[in-house]
Amino acid sequence: MVGALVAGALDAPFWDAWKADESFLLHRCSTCGRHDWPASCCVKHGAGPMVWVPTSGAGVIDTFTIFFHAYMKELASEVPYTVAVVRLDEGPYFHTRIVGVEPQAVKSGMRVRVRKGQGDPFPLFAPE
């Protein structure tokens, strides 16, 4: 397990769904359809119409960095590893680790999809 999972009350439905069945939820305004991550209010309609909805769990790598030093002892055996900002197909950005591909093969614009890692409570992304 990497790090401690700290879930706030607003984001609890996301983490509960992820732990229970690997559903990747986003907060969506039921009035205009805009998706947000983490939980937030719609910039046009406020908090009232916001609901958690299942999503594709897919997107593209916007930017990334390769770590050659483990800044967390739990990642020492994974060096080098890639951390990326993924623009989800539904619009929001999600910060994550990229797995299932050599770090040197990761490219901006690469299509990725969410997956669960063994012993890792956080959503990870791998090439489609």
Where do the structural domains in the chain lie, given as residue ranges? 12-127
Residue type, 115: R
Nearest to 80 by CA among 58, 106, 62, 116: 106
pTM over 0.95: no
Residue 71 pLDDT grade (very low, low, confident, very high; cuts 50, 70, 90): confident
Does residue 1 carry a pLDDT above 60? no
Mean pLDDT, range 11-32, rounded to an integer? 92
| HSE-up of residue 28 (Cα within 13 Å, Cβ side) | 13
Domain at 12-127, CATH from 1.10.3480.10, 2.40.50.840, 2.40.50.100, 3.40.50.720: 2.40.50.840
For residues 48 and 56, what is the distance between their CA atoms, to the nearest angstrom? 24
Does residue 2 carry a pLDDT above 70? no
Mean pLDDT, range 4-20, rounded to an integer? 80
Residue 5 pLDDT grade (very low, low, confident, very high; cuts 50, 70, 90): low
Q: Is 80 helix (H, G, I), strand (E, B) or coil?
A: coil
For residues 19 and 22, what is the distance between their CA atoms, to the nearest angstrom? 6
| 71 token code pair | 């800044």
The answer to whether residues 82 and 64 touch, using CB atoms and an 8 Å cutoff, is yes
Which residue shows structure tokens 């984001």?
11
Q: Is the peptide bond before 103 cis (omega within 30 degrees of 0)?
A: no
Percent with pLDDT over 70 in the chain: 95
CB count in 10 Å sphere of residue 35? 17
Query: Any idea which of 21-35, 65-79, 82-96 has the lowest mean pLDDT?
Result: 65-79
- Give the pLDDT confidence score for residue 6 in this predicted structure: 55
Does residue 17 carry a pLDDT above 70? yes
- Give the pLDDT confidence score for residue 8 in this predicted structure: 77
Does residue 19 carry a pLDDT above 80? yes
For residues 37 and 27, what is the distance between their CA atoms, to the nearest angstrom? 6
